[in-house]
Structure 1
């Protein structure tokens, strides 16, 4: 309290009882792909080509449009085709912002450790994709990165042409002595099958080619997040730019894949749609078997973490506990009002507890303040059942 020595009107800044939490972004991509050290590009239409250097290898570049990607990594050419088509699909499907790291052509995608490590300091990345990385070793590296960071989600590409339509084969496993172990389950990843078909403008004349779907699907994630919210499953959505599929799947095919968390891409009335919403492993991932559940929990955790950093070094008193409680409750109330939390009333949808019970003297002596938060997250209506009864005339 300041000391006043003369009569007058004084204005003081009073700290707010609660500080608003702004939800973090949920659809910022992190892409890794092969691009040679220089790209051959025509100097003008119909003219000879000239080479120019691209962005340094191993250094993530912020890309906010297709034009920016071309300036940093070149237009769609043989050397960068897989990555370029994926980034084009990302922006075409609703993506607005991503970080791109290139690896040199000589290195390929055999060792992703350094490229993934370069993403660690970039806190805003929430989706990670390596278009064309289909081996279990590559998948496990991507999954390990997302699991360790705990604030991002992996979109994985299946084998292009698996030997069979079993979950093991689609996840990269091979049978027989010395066979490859398929990619393991993870609540921080989703795998999509089959590959999509897209137009390849780099050939003369342009042709239709099979292409890994991860970049396009990352754009669908961004589109759904923006239009509905991260709590909405990124499924039953059209993949823009997809002209066909490497193979068509039936309902019977999908019944063998869905429980294992293989998300099918299917054709309905000429529309190519994502027809799966599960994390890799599906039923084995218990409460996190749905993509939207895992990603929404990531969103809540990261938003609350960033929105309560002001608490650090504050006096650990009941007044602080009340301010934390109000801050988190206000944020979760907004989430409930927008449809992300389940319950007819806020009390049914969430609770926040920060008091003497969660902060006993021994914890306060350690400099800790503990807040317990519980939420009821909405889950997708994966199986819609209609019971139809016919009545006979009387």
Structure 2
């Protein structure tokens, strides 16, 4: 209590009881690759907010050579992305280093805002593993994996590749056998996505028509969908800005094979152009994280709750704290439900927050822990829209004419 020494009226400001939990950003991407200027800011994570800024930082010189990294950053910004982090690994660089100094993907571990991860130009199994392992370890982002160029056998996209599949024929560790089935699919993961095929775009640096991996453009579509509809909306059935053609035109029967395997196909539709026609992760077909928007929404909710409840650390672990947890998280999830991200006609149907004596018995409190159980009913995308069509006479009487 403060001390007062003379009679009078004193007004004190006291903190409010509630601590609102705010949403977090989900549209910041990170790209790791080789920049047009191989020597520019090597092994540094640098934020980029515009194409002109990227050119100034990474494409100095009179005639810079374009790279998949440059085309990915342009595709990201062109498709609705507004901010990304760039790591230039330089000529002959690797996604991960073996020394004590952080390099490549490791540099992004200290950047909290990254929610989308890609490495345009790195599409071998070892690179896929590095991307997925980083996303799984941090649990704050989803990695986009690119297929190799020139794929003409789509069945190879359904077979999981190993490090041997990333080596050229005749190299050490892989038999020089033309009969060995090719495999290109990354392994199963709840924190990864895989798109096919490559895009044909007008290069933003030299103006030539070139093929480029899809990860940059897809990351931009994720960011655009987040801004316009919310992270709970699947980033699919969206046009790919800047794509003038596809390296491979997937047929409907081929798509029937690829989609259950978690391969998100980019299709051309007459009159509609080139569109993303898949919204799956690399999770198991029957897994609860097989839809991309479900995975990304859960990440955003987890991060928002973690950031918004940090004030609770070291607070007395009693009924008052448990009530605050239920109140603050409940208010936050109510806003998420009102945005259309959770399934249910009422908040009670959409989520629950339980934090009481049952979740915090004496042994839990003695260990210095407070435990809350949170359940959410996430809206899943309408991936298969089915209309059952049959003939109907409409109740009209039929009349026979003639004899």
After TM superposition, the score normalised by the length of structure 1 is: 0.89
**Per-residue Cα deviation, 1:270-326 (whole angstroms, up to 9, x for no partner):** 511000000014515x11000000000000000000000000111111111111111
1:139 aligned residue: 128
Secondary structure of the corresponding residue to residue 119 of structure 1: helix
- For the structure 1 residues 211 and 110, does the alpha-carbon distance in structure 2 shift closer, same or farther, using more than 3 Å as the test? farther
1:335 aligns with 2:320: no
Secondary structure of the corresponding residue to residue 154 of structure 2: coil
**Per-residue Cα deviation, 1:114-135 (whole angstroms, up to 9, x for no partner):** 3111000111111001012211
TM-aligned CA deviation for residue 7 of structure 1: 3.1
**Per-residue Cα deviation, 1:41-81 (whole angstroms, up to 9, x for no partner):** xxxxxxxxxxxx62x21110011111111111016966442
TM-aligned CA deviation for residue 356 of structure 1: 1.3
2:375 aligned residue: 374
2:67 aligned residue: 81
CA contact (8 A) 2:35 2:58 kept: yes
After TM superposition, the score normalised by the length of structure 2 is: 0.88
Match 1:184 to one of 165, 183, 187: 187
CA contact (8 A) 1:265 1:276 kept: yes
1:101 aligns with 2:87: yes
Within 2, Cα distance between the matches of 1:209 and 1:136?
24
1:31 aligned residue: 31
Secondary structure of the corresponding residue to residue 275 of structure 2: strand
TM-aligned CA deviation for residue 189 of structure 1: 0.6
CA contact (8 A) 2:37 2:59 kept: no
Secondary structure of the corresponding residue to residue 120 of structure 1: helix
Match 1:276 to one of 257, 274, 278: 278
TM-aligned CA deviation for residue 362 of structure 1: 1.4
2:150 aligned residue: 161
Within 1, Cα distance between the matches of 2:223 and 2:3?
54
- For the structure 1 residues 181 and 73, does the alpha-carbon distance in structure 2 shift closer, same or farther, using more than 3 Å as the test? closer
Within 2, Cα distance between the matches of 1:19 and 1:108?
43
1:195 aligns with 2:198: yes
Within 2, Cα distance between the matches of 1:119 and 1:201?
26
* Count of aligned pairs: 376
Secondary structure of the corresponding residue to residue 288 of structure 2: helix
CA contact (8 A) 1:258 1:282 kept: no
- For the structure 1 residues 179 and 265, does the alpha-carbon distance in structure 2 shift closer, same or farther, using more than 3 Å as the test? closer
Match 2:56 to one of 71, 75, 89: 71
Within 1, Cα distance between the matches of 2:184 and 2:251?
26
Alignment of 1:1-394 (within 5 A): 1-35=1-35, 54=40, 56-74=41-59, 79-107=65-93, 114-168=103-157, 172=161, 176=179, 182-200=185-203, 202-203=205-206, 206-268=207-269, 269-281=271-283, 283-284=285-286, 286-392=287-393, 393-394=396-397
Within 2, Cα distance between the matches of 1:60 and 1:160?
27
TM-aligned CA deviation for residue 16 of structure 1: 2.1
Within 1, Cα distance between the matches of 2:257 and 2:338?
37
Within 2, Cα distance between the matches of 1:37 and 1:20?
45
TM-aligned CA deviation for residue 33 of structure 1: 1.0
Q: Which has the larger radius of gyration?
A: 2
Within 2, Cα distance between the matches of 1:29 and 1:169?
27
Within 2, Cα distance between the matches of 1:108 and 1:366?
43
Within 2, Cα distance between the matches of 1:244 and 1:181?
22
2:175 aligned residue: none
CA contact (8 A) 1:351 1:373 kept: yes
RMSD: 2.3
TM-aligned CA deviation for residue 159 of structure 1: 1.8
